[in-house]
Structure 1
Amino acid sequence: MLQQLRSTDERFKSISFKSGRNILIADKTERSTDTDSRNGAGKSSLIEILHFLLGMRDLRGSVLKNPALQADTFTLRLDWPTTPDELTVSRSLSKRSRVLLEPNVAAELMPLETAGNVTIPEWVTAIGRDLFAFPEEHTGVSARNLLSLYIRRVNQHALDDPVKTYPTQSIAEATTNAAYLLGLDWRLAAGYKQLAGRETLRRKLKEAMKDPAFGLVVGTVSELRGQVASAGVRARNLEKQVAAFRVVPEYEFLQNRADEIDARIRRMRAEDAADRRNLQDLQDSLREEREPATDYLRRAYEELGIVLPDALLRRYDDVRAFHESVLSNRRSYLEEEIASTESRLETRKDERERLGDEQAELLQTLRDGGALDAFTGLQEQLSIARSELQTVTDKFETARQLEATQTEIKFERSRLQQEINRDLAEREPHIEDVNILFQQFATALYGPGRDAYIDIRALDTSLHISPHIGGENSQGIGKMVIFCFDLTCAVLAHRNGRGPDFLVHDSHLFDGVDERQVGEALKLAARVCAGEGIQYIATMNSDDLAKAAAFDTSVKDDIIEPRLTDAYDDGGLFGFHFE
Structure 2
Amino acid sequence: MFHQIRSSDERFKTITFKPGRNILIADKTTQSSGTDSRNGAGKSSLIEILHFVLGMGRLTNSVLENAALQSDTFSLQLDWPGVPDSLTASRSLSKRSRVNLAPDVAGDSGLVQIAGSATVTEWTAAIGRDLFGFPVEHAGISARSLLSLYIRRVSQHGMDDPVKTFPNQSMADATTNVAYLLGLDWRLAAGYQELASRESLRQKLKKATKDPAFGLVVGTVSELRGQVAAATVRVRKLEEQVAAFRVVPEYELLQARADEIDAQIRRTRAEDAADRRNLQDLNDALRDEHEPAADYLRRAYRELGIELPDAVLRQYDDVQSFHQSVLANRRSYLEEEAAATAARLDARQAEREHLGEEQAALLRRLRDGGALDAFTALQEQLALARSQLQTLTTRFETARQLEATQAEIKFERSRIQQEVSRDLIEREQHVAEINMLFQRFATALYGPGRDAYIDITALDSNLRISPHIGGRNSQGISKMITFCFDLTYAVLAHRNGRGPDFLVHDSHLFDGVDERQIGEALKLASVVCLEEGMQYIATLNSDDLAKIEQYDASLSQDVIEPRLTDAFSDGGLFGFHFE
TM-score, structure 2 as length reference: 0.86
What is the match of residue 381 of structure 2?
A: 384
What is the match of residue 507 of structure 1?
A: 507
Map residues 455-474 of structure 1 onto 2, 5 A cutoff. 455-471=455-471, 473-474=473-474
Is 1:195 aligned to 2:195, yes or no?
Answer: yes
What is the match of residue 81 of structure 1?
A: 81
What is the match of residue 144 of structure 2?
A: 144
> Which deviations, in whole Å up to 9, do the C-alpha atoms of 1:303-351 show, x marking residues without a partner?
4443333333434444444445445554455444444444443444334
Query: 1:384–1:435: structure 2 CA closer, same or farther, 3 Å change rule?
Result: same
Map residues 431-450 of structure 1 onto 2, 5 A cutoff. 431-450=431-450
Query: 1:383–1:410: structure 2 CA closer, same or farther, 3 Å change rule?
Result: farther
Tell me which moved more, 416-425 or 91-100: 91-100
Query: 1:29–1:271: structure 2 CA closer, same or farther, 3 Å change rule?
Result: closer
Map residues 269-418 of structure 1 onto 2, 5 A cutoff. 269-370=269-370, 374-404=371-401, 405-407=404-406, 408-418=408-418
Determine the C-alpha separation between the residues in 2 that align with 1:89 and 1:59: 18
Q: State the secondary structure of the residue aligned to 1:398.
A: helix
Q: State the secondary structure of the residue aligned to 2:169.
A: coil
Tell me which moved more, 219-228 or 172-181: 219-228
Q: Which amino acid aligns with 1:391?
A: Q
What is the match of residue 25 of structure 2?
A: 25
Deviation at 1:491, TM superposition (A): 0.8
Query: 1:431–1:386: structure 2 CA closer, same or farther, 3 Å change rule?
Result: same
What is the match of residue 184 of structure 1?
A: 184
Map residues 56-67 of structure 1 onto 2, 5 A cutoff. 56-67=56-67
> Which deviations, in whole Å up to 9, do the C-alpha atoms of 1:418-465 show, x marking residues without a partner?
332222222121111111111121222223332221111222322221
Is 1:48 aligned to 2:45, yes or no?
Answer: no
Q: Which amino acid aligns with 1:155?
A: S
Q: Which amino acid aligns with 1:431?
A: V
Deviation at 1:180, TM superposition (A): 1.3
Q: State the secondary structure of the residue aligned to 1:283.
A: helix
Deviation at 1:13, TM superposition (A): 4.3
Q: State the secondary structure of the residue aligned to 1:352.
A: helix
Q: Which amino acid aligns with 1:485?
A: F
Determine the C-alpha separation between the residues in 2 that align with 1:445 and 1:10: 41
Deviation at 1:183, TM superposition (A): 0.8
Deviation at 1:40, TM superposition (A): 3.0
Identical columns (%): 71
The answer (yes or no) to whether the contact 1:28–1:38 under 8 Å persists in 2 is yes
What is the match of residue 423 of structure 2?
A: 423
Determine the C-alpha separation between the residues in 2 that align with 1:282 and 1:16: 121
Q: State the secondary structure of the residue aligned to 1:40.
A: coil
> Which deviations, in whole Å up to 9, do the C-alpha atoms of 1:95-117 show, x marking residues without a partner?
5554444433368799xxx9945
> Which deviations, in whole Å up to 9, do the C-alpha atoms of 1:188-241 show, x marking residues without a partner?
222322333344344444445544445444444444444444444444444444
How many residue pairs get matched?
Answer: 573
Query: 1:20–1:299: structure 2 CA closer, same or farther, 3 Å change rule?
Result: closer
The answer (yes or no) to whether the contact 2:218–2:399 under 8 Å persists in 1 is no
Query: 1:191–1:319: structure 2 CA closer, same or farther, 3 Å change rule?
Result: same
Query: 1:215–1:87: structure 2 CA closer, same or farther, 3 Å change rule?
Result: same
Deviation at 1:294, TM superposition (A): 4.2
Structure 2: segments with no counterpart, 5+ residues = none
Tell me which moved more, 23-32 or 159-168: 23-32
Map residues 556-575 of structure 1 onto 2, 5 A cutoff. 556-575=556-575
Determine the C-alpha separation between the residues in 1 that align with 2:211 and 2:461: 29
> Which deviations, in whole Å up to 9, do the C-alpha atoms of 1:169-188 show, x marking residues without a partner?
22222112111110112222
Determine the C-alpha separation between the residues in 2 that align with 1:244 and 1:49: 58
Query: 1:337–1:43: structure 2 CA closer, same or farther, 3 Å change rule?
Result: closer
> Which deviations, in whole Å up to 9, do the C-alpha atoms of 1:500-557 show, x marking residues without a partner?
2222222222222233322332332232222222222222234434443444444344
The answer (yes or no) to whether the contact 1:458–1:464 under 8 Å persists in 2 is yes
Query: 1:245–1:57: structure 2 CA closer, same or farther, 3 Å change rule?
Result: closer
Deviation at 1:157, TM superposition (A): 0.9
Q: State the secondary structure of the residue aligned to 1:188.
A: helix
Determine the C-alpha separation between the residues in 2 that align with 1:565 and 1:63: 17
Determine the C-alpha separation between the residues in 2 that align with 1:562 and 1:323: 145
Q: Which amino acid aligns with 1:403?
A: R
Determine the C-alpha separation between the residues in 2 that align with 1:349 and 1:11: 102
Structure 1: segments with no counterpart, 5+ residues = none
The answer (yes or no) to whether the contact 1:206–1:402 under 8 Å persists in 2 is no
The answer (yes or no) to whether the contact 1:7–1:73 under 8 Å persists in 2 is yes
Map residues 160-239 of structure 1 onto 2, 5 A cutoff. 160-239=160-239
